[in-house]
């Protein structure tokens, strides 16, 4: 009887061991499959930092990332150059306008800036040149000719100070789409890799998708500052144009005062 109970207990232990083996077998097979997948794909990038993803990206995605990095560098270079240029131009324009508001003559203002090439100096010199060509005859036709000259000089100076800003607008408009192209290309290659490896293991496709999304991220990093800087520079250039308008108005007032003073002198001489 005792011997029969021992055999029953041994049978129970055997069944328990069998159940444990059956339960562990799928897990072991899954682990072996993952190990085989990793072995079958030795080229999968293990460094998923931004630099590692760049190094392991497809050549097209790499080209997209390099182009976007260059566009970002151009954006900040234009911002620095235009900030310095506009700051200096505005300070000089303020000094010129203060000189014009001091009530001096056109000849004195032209003499003070005869060797300078800034925008307000060009306005003053153009007005003085028209006065020279008109032989000192200050009438309504002369004022119309001066106004035309001032308008043309203002347009030329505004175009000169605005150089480079259109590049920012182009970068801001196209960089997201360039990044999206890199993303589409990278995801397409990831799905091709899934098809060729005959596995749906997420570890196979995840690095390629991450590299593809990095291209979109770089596109946004290039585009957002370009749009913000472009809008900022447009506002600053608008303020600079206001200075040019003030200088042109001061020159026309100076001509009007000169015409009035000449008329008054002729009236006194006639008396």
Span 244-257, pLDDT tens digits: 999 999 888 888 77
Neighbours of 86 (CB within 10 A): 17
Does 147 lie in the same domain as 36?
no
Q: At 210, is the pLDDT very low, low, confident or very high (cuts 50, 70, 90)?
A: confident
pLDDT of residue 86: 93
Does 64 lie in the same domain as 15?
no
pLDDT of residue 49: 65
pLDDT at 123 over 50: yes
Does 202 lie in the same domain as 87?
yes
| Neighbour-count burial for 205-239, b at 16+ CB within 10 Å, e otherwise | bebbbbbbbbbbebbebbbebbbebbeebeebbee
Q: At 45, is the pLDDT very low, low, confident or very high (cuts 50, 70, 90)?
A: very low
Does 128 lie in the same domain as 14?
no
pLDDT of residue 155: 92
Poorest-confidence range of 30-44, 192-206, 215-229, 231-245? 30-44
pLDDT of residue 118: 86
The mean pLDDT value of the chain amounts to 76
pLDDT of residue 265: 41
pLDDT at 30 over 80: no
Does 155 lie in the same domain as 224?
yes
Q: How many CA atoms lie within 13 A of 250 on its CB side?
A: 24
Tell me how many domains the chain contains. 2
Which residue intervals of 41-139 are DSSP H helices?
50-55, 59-101, 106-112, 119-133
SS3 sequence, 113-167?
CCCCCCHHHHHHHHHHHHHHHCCCCCCHHHHHHHHHHHHHHHHHHHHHHCCCHHH
* Tens digits of residue pLDDT in 131-164: 888 776 777 788 888 889 999 999 999 999 999 8
Mean pLDDT, residues 42-63 taken together = 65
Rg of the chain, C-alpha, whole Å: 38
Neighbours of 255 (CB within 10 A): 19
Between 145 and 41, residue with greater pLDDT: 145
pLDDT at 103 over 80: no
Does 100 lie in the same domain as 24?
no
Poorest-confidence range of 76-85, 102-111, 147-156? 102-111
Does 121 lie in the same domain as 25?
no
Does 53 lie in the same domain as 35?
no
Does 56 lie in the same domain as 30?
no
CB 94 within 8 A of CB 246: no
Q: What is the SS3 assignment for 44?
A: coil
Does 185 lie in the same domain as 208?
yes
Mean pLDDT, residues 6-26 taken together = 44
The domain of 202 spans 49-270
pLDDT at 264 over 90: no
Does 101 lie in the same domain as 26?
no
Which stretch, 134-138, 170-174, 202-206, has highest mean pLDDT? 170-174
pLDDT at 268 over 50: no
CB 182 within 8 A of CB 61: yes
pLDDT at 230 over 90: yes
Does 61 lie in the same domain as 7?
no
Which stretch, 56-65, 108-117, 182-191, 239-248, has highest mean pLDDT? 239-248
Mean pLDDT, residues 183-201 taken together = 76
Mean pLDDT, residues 168-174 taken together = 93
pTM of the model: 0.71
């Amino acid at each position: 009887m005792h011997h029969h109970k021992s055999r029953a207990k041994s049978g129970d232990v055997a069944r328990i061991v069998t159940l444990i083996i059956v339960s562990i077998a799928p897990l072991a097979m899954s682990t072996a499959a993952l190990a085989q997948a990793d072995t079958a794909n030795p080229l999968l990038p293990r460094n998923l930092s931004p630099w590692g993803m760049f190094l392991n990206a497809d050549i097209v995605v790499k080209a997209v990332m390099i182009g976007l990095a260059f566009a970002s560098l151009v954006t900040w270079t234009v911002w620095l150059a235009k900030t310095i240029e506009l700051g200096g131009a505005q300070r000089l324009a303020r000094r010129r306008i203060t000189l014009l508001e001091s009530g001096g003559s056109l000849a004195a203002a032209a003499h003070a800036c005869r060797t300078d090439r800034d925008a307000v100096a060009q306005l003053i010199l153009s007005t003085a040149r028209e006065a020279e060509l008109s032989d000192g005859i200050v009438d309504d036709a002369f004022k119309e000719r001066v106004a035309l000259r001032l308008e043309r000089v203002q347009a030329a100076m505004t175009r000169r100070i605005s150089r480079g800003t259109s590049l920012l607008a182009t970068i801001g408009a196209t960089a997201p789409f360039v990044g999206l192209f890199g993303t589409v290309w990278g995801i397409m290659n990831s799905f091709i890799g899934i098809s060729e490896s005959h596995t749906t293991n997420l570890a196979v496709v995840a690095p390629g998708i991450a590299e593809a999304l990095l291209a979109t991220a770089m596109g946004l990093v290039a585009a957002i500052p370009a749009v913000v800087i472009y809008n900022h520079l447009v506002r600053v250039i608008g303020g600079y144009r206001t200075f040019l308008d003030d200088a042109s108005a001061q020159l026309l007032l100076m001509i009007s005062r000169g015409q009035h003073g000449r008329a008054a002198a002729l009236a006194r001489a006639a008396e």
